[in-house]
Structure 1
């Protein structure tokens, strides 16, 4: 089913609604349980080589996660895709059916001279998702919508673990953090119609209800980190 004119299939099926009916839904964050907040800075800072770096995040529907990172200063590219599974089933039909090991994910290319990996992780947990939800984000349920960090090297894995431990020790959330650390996963870009979806379709019902509030939270909580929207680029 084409995403250009409809809700995401799993959302439309779950609600039994067409587009016209969906437009009448109240524009509130769907199923949110942990509100966005400006979380503390990481106590452990990343030590990264100069030049472009890539970090991979999974936090439910990749439309919203990509849209948030496309507005973060120091990010030079954000690509929606799949991580955790194999190349043979890295396509939307397979992944959305729930029968793969993939999660919908976003590969973020960034300049560590402007923003470090630990700072990206902080923003991710602050505004891009509810990290206490298990195999779900908002209206989307299934392992393909799990929250996960996919470190690309030992340094990213170290920083990710340290920040999760820091948030747990501080009891930053009312419930345990469910986000997984899954090192060594390959990333596969998603189909072209998924790229830049929030930027190209800001009025789409799914975006308006579920993802626009994340972008507003970024602007309000991290104004010094917010930049004009950019378009996606393939990850390095």
Structure 2
């Protein structure tokens, strides 16, 4: 296994080119996965402009807007790492409202956000229609291994030491969930694209061979 250092700008261009290389006339769903210190949302945001320059309509969605209500999410307390891993994300709603409408023959009507976890209430946003040829950019954490129907998975990998350094004191209870994710989902092996993100602003692409 080799790694190739790359600038953030070049990384966004290369990923956009790869996404744009997929067949026209169909939607492309991309999951950008990583723990919060790796900033998966930042990478997903960086892909919007280069994809639009290539003529691809883009819709940004965050998995953080598809968490379960607090009564379900926090049933076992606010700091249970297994609940964080298994129960926080409303996978069914994410598939139903975002990913399934972009299947072949789907309607293309996507709900961009469902649940405001801070206010613990529904957003009540209108549906948006993503044209064919469009790209859905979904960011989140612990996304792989859930059977999400997407065409491309991108994982921002952090070493254990970098993850610990980047995790705030109030969120350190989540570290066992990330360790479990490495063991069970094996994101470095299963993602289509793996980016090593230990050094902020200096990513490296993992290259097989």
Q: Same fold (TM over 0.5)?
A: no
More strand by share: 2
TM-score, structure 2 length as denominator? 0.25
TM-score, structure 1 length as denominator? 0.23
